[in-house]
Amino acid sequence: MLPVNISLQQVKQGMITADDVLSPSGQLIIPKNTALNPRLISRLKLYNVKMVCVIITEDVAQELNAKAEKNKPLNPEKTTQEFKNFNRTYQDMANDLEAFCKAVIERPYESHDPAPIIDQILDLAKTVKNTLHLMNTLQLLREYDDTMYIHSISVALIAHTIASQQGISEEDMRSLIFACAFHDIGKVQIPPEILYKPGRLTDEEFATVKEHAQKGYEILNKARFPQEIQLAALMHHERCDGSGYPSALTMDKIPFFARVIAIADVYDAMTARRSYRKEICSFDVIEEFENSGYQKYDVTLLLEFLTSIAQSHLNNKVRLSNSLIGTIVMINKHKLSKPVVNIDGTFFDLSKQKDISIIELL
């Protein structure tokens, strides 16, 4: 049996109130643990009660979710020519990046010009309208592919958003995109049965995966790429509090590019669908960063990035953990993961409603 807040339209005969139902003026209308009947439901309407906390069974909760899922509109963006073009360009870029990485590894002493790769990514970044457009598009792309090369391009686009908020120069932006494109090149030397294992890694397997940072540095060093590109590959898993790898560096020892890539890399990984879990809602990702990220990542970069993500979801419809659907109407600047949601004229401040959270963006 579950206590949930539901709208008056969802109330059914036989449901039992989980709390006292009060009028807008605070008058007791129906006491706790009362089975609702047509007369009591009419009384709720008379007093203009919008939400009622009732006890429902798991079956009813699943029914509410099923109805909400059935009424969920299909994402029209998948069928637009704009998205089809974006997806095609993305796939072509991933193929080009894969070919380039292989050439660098197989012929490290030859001259390799990354300018075409950088130009492609920057041109694609120009087609992104805003943070919400970028995050939605990247989420749609995951249904098609999620290889290392797709991930690297996604990280580059997210890093472009982060760095743009800092107003870096055009030259530095090109170098950052260069670093993003090759930050994971060391994974080419990780056994594919570990790298693409359909499930959680063992401690031993994870230790092997962690070697990609050092291997990437060695590949880029052998190819004589600029030192800032080499260090970005080596240090993008370092954390400002010293909890990262491979050298447990603190913030003052981690270069800017690596600090930017660290945030973009983790955000893209956390929002991706995995064989052992669904993709994580962006507000859950924001909360995860709020809980531990301000110690691990450059707080100036992180706070501006998370704020832009949260703000981009204003007026977005969401499904809450109590099965209800509402609209985000305000962002709490002190708790970005807990916005204010409007449900049929009733406003829920999720920073104060500890038992309710956003589980899905609609």
What residues are annotated to the active site? 187
**Backbone dihedral angles phi then psi of residue 6, each to the nearest 5 degrees:** -130, 160
Contacts of residue 326, defined as CB under 8 A and 6 or more positions apart, other chains included, come to 317, 318, 320, 341, 342, 343, 344, 348
CB atoms under 10 Å from CB of 336, counted, come to 21
Give the separation between CA 233 and CA 181, rounded to whole angstroms: 10
Following DSSP, what letter does each residue of 163-221 receive, concatenated? HHTTT--HHHHHHHHHHHHTTTGGGGGS-HHHHT-SSPPPHHHHHHHHTHHHHHHHHHH
Give the separation between CA 261 and CA 235, rounded to whole angstroms: 9
Residues 63, 73, 320, 68, Cα dihedral to 10°: -10
Chain centroid to Cα 275, Å, comes to 17
CB atoms under 10 Å from CB of 42, counted, come to 10
Q: Nearest to residue 157, comparing CAs of 141, 134, 175, 136? A: 134
